[in-house]
Structure 1
Amino acid sequence: MEDRSRGRSRNRVVVVGAGLAGLGAVQRLRGAGSVRLLEAAARAGGRVCTRPFASGLAEMGAHWIHGPSPGNPVFCLATRYGLLGPEAAREENQRAEAGGHPPLPSVTYGSSGRVLSPQAVSEARDLFATLLASARDFQGAEDPPVSSVGQYVRAEITRRVPALGGGKEDARRLQLAILATCLKLECCISGTHSMDLVALEPFGEYISLPGLDCTFPGGYSSLPERMLSTLPEGTVLLNKAVKTIQWQGSFHEEGDNARDFPVRVECEDGDTFLADHVIVTVPLGFLKEHHQDFFQPPLPERKAEAIRCLGFGTNNKIFLEFEQPFWEPQQQLIEVVWEDESPLKEPSTDLEANWFRKLIGFVVLQPPEQHGHVLCGFIAGKESEYMETLSDAEVLSTMTHVLRTLTGNPLLPTPRSVLRSQWHSSPYTRGSYSYVAVGSSGDDIDVLAQPLPEDPEDPRPLQLLFAGEATHRTFYSTTHGALLSGWREAERLNRLLETPSGSTVHK
Structure 2
Amino acid sequence: MGVRGPTVVVIGAGIAGIGAAEKLYQNGFRHIRILEATGRSGGRIRTQSFAKGLVEIGAQWIHGPSPENLVFQLSAQYNLLGPDALLEENQKMDVGGHPPAIPVIYTSSGKNISMPLVMNLTSLYFEWLEKARNFTKDTCSPDASVGSFLRQEILRSSKEWDKDTCELNLAVLRSFLNIECCVSGTHTMDHVALCPYGEYTMFLGLDCTFPTGFESLVNRIKANLPNDTVILNKAVEKIYWDGSFQGRDSRAYPVQVQCEDGETFVADHVIVTVPLGFLKKHADNFLSPPLPLSKKQAIKNLGFGTMNKILLEFEKPFWEPNSSYIQLVWEGGSPLTEPKKDLKKNWMKKLSGFVVLEPPAQLGHILCGFIAGEESEYMESLSDEEVLFTMTSLLRQFTGNPELPPPISILRSKWHSQPYTGGSYSYVAVGSSGSDIDSLAEPLPKDKDTAKPSQVLFAGEATERNFYSTTHGALMSGQREAQRLIDRYPELGTAVSKAKL
Q: Percent identity?
A: 58
Which residue does the alignment assign to 1:67?
64
Q: Tell me what 1:108 maps to.
A: 105
User: Aligned residue for 2:354?
Assistant: 362
Measured in 2, the distance between the counterparts of 1:471 and 1:406 equals 41
Partner of 1:199: 193
2:402 to 395, 410, 432: 410
1:209 aligns with 2:203: yes
**CA offset digits 1:246-295 (Å, max 9, x no partner):** 111110025x54x2111000111111100000000000000000111211
Instruction: Choose from 35, 39, 47 the match for 1:38.
Output: 35
Task: Give, in angstroms, the shift of residue 348 of structure 1.
Answer: 2.7
| TM-score normalised by structure 2 residue count | 0.96
Give the structure 2 partner of residue 161 of structure 1: 158
Structure 2 equivalent of residue 248 of structure 1: 242
Task: Give, in whole Å, the separation in 2 of the partners of 1:452 and 1:376.
Answer: 41
Does the 8 Å CA contact 2:64/2:205 hold for their aligned counterparts? yes
1:92-130 alpha-carbon deviations (Å, 9 max, x no partner): 100111112222232100101122211222222221111
Aligned partners of 1:93 and 1:142: how far apart in 2?
A: 35
Aligned match for 1:267, one of 255, 259, 281: 259
**Candidates 478, 481, 484, aligned match of 1:486:** 478
Corresponding residue for 2:499?
none
Deviations 1:366-387, CA, capped at 9 Å, x for gaps:
0110111100000000000000
Comparing 175-184 with 339-348, which one deviates more in the overlay?
A: 339-348
TM-score normalized by structure 1? 0.95
Q: Secondary structure at the match of 2:285?
A: helix
Q: Residue 503 of structure 1 aligns with which residue?
A: none
CA separation in 1, counterparts of 2:360 and 2:302?
39
1:235 to 222, 229, 233: 229
Distance in 2 (alpha carbons) for counterparts of 1:147 and 1:232: 49
Supply the AA of the counterpart residue of 2:72: F
Map residues 134-145 of structure 1 onto 2, 5 A cutoff.
134-144=131-141
Q: Is the 8 A contact 1:139 1:205 kept in 2?
A: no
Structure 1 residues without counterparts, runs of 5 or longer = 1-5, 501-507
CA distance in 1, matches of 2:142, 2:3: 54
| 2:340 corresponding residue in structure 1 | 348
- Which residue number corresponds to residue 130 of structure 1? 127
Q: Which amino acid aligns with 1:12?
A: T
**Which has the higher mean CA deviation after the structures are superposed, 140-149 or 189-198?**
140-149
Match of 1:180 in 2: 174
Partner of 1:99: 96
The secondary structure found in structure 2 opposite 1:103 is: coil
Deviates more, 1:294-303 or 1:99-108: 99-108
- Matched to 2:98, the amino acid is H
Task: Give aligned pairs, total.
Answer: 490
Q: 1:353, 1:235 → 2: CA distance?
A: 48
- Check the 8 A contact 2:142/2:195 in 1, yes or no: no
Letter in 2 for 1:113: G
1:331-390 deviation per Cα after TM superposition (whole angstroms, max 9, x unaligned): 110000001100111123111110000000100000110111100000000000000000
| CA distance, structure 2, for counterparts of residue 338 and residue 329 of structure 1 | 24
C-alpha separation in 1, matches of 2:478 and 2:335: 39
> What is the CA distance between 1:205 and its match in structure 2?
0.4
Q: Which residue of 2 aligns with 1:24?
A: 19
Q: Distance in 2 between matches of 1:60 and 1:436?
A: 24
Residues of 2 paired with 1:101 and 1:175: CA distance? Answer: 20
Structure 1 runs of 4+ with >3 Å offset = 142-146
How big is the alpha-carbon RMSD for the aligned residues of Structure 1 and Structure 2? Answer: 1.3
Distance 1:41 1:163 in 2: 54
